[in-house]
Amino acid sequence: MLSQLKKVAGQLKQEFEVYRLVLRHPKTPVLAKIFLGLAIAYVLMPFDLIPDFIPVIGQLDDLVIVPLLVYVALKMIPNAVVNECREQIRREINS
């Protein structure tokens, strides 16, 4: 189980690196950059729109809002840009 957690953590770290490159890419639409920026900001915010002490709903907002923002942003970004950024991360990892 610990190895699976490490694998998932590594994949998340890799995806965050991809998003970082996508944010900097000149072909990324401005609106997509805004949505990705909002997703990152929401994760890093010290407060939530719906407080976590409210049972179930408080935790669900984190599990719904952030993935939704990322999903919408990735739909706006050309696949070639995302694939280029993922390939760049793979090359950096393998070198």
Q: pLDDT by residue (tens digit) across 18-62?
A: 999 999 999 999 999 999 988 888 878 767 777 777 777 777 777
Angle between helices 2-24 and 79-94 (to 10 degrees): 120
pLDDT recorded at residue 59: 75
Quote the mean pLDDT of the chain.
87
pLDDT recorded at residue 63: 81
pLDDT recorded at residue 79: 94
**Structural domain span for residue 43:** 2-94
- DSSP result, 56-79: THHHHHHHHHHHHHHHHHHHHS-H
Give how many domains the chain has, as a whole number: 1
- Indicate the pLDDT class of residue 93, thresholds 50, 70 and 90: confident
pLDDT recorded at residue 94: 86
3-state secondary structure of 28: coil
What's the pTM? 0.76
56: left (phi over 0), alpha (psi -120 to 50) or beta: left
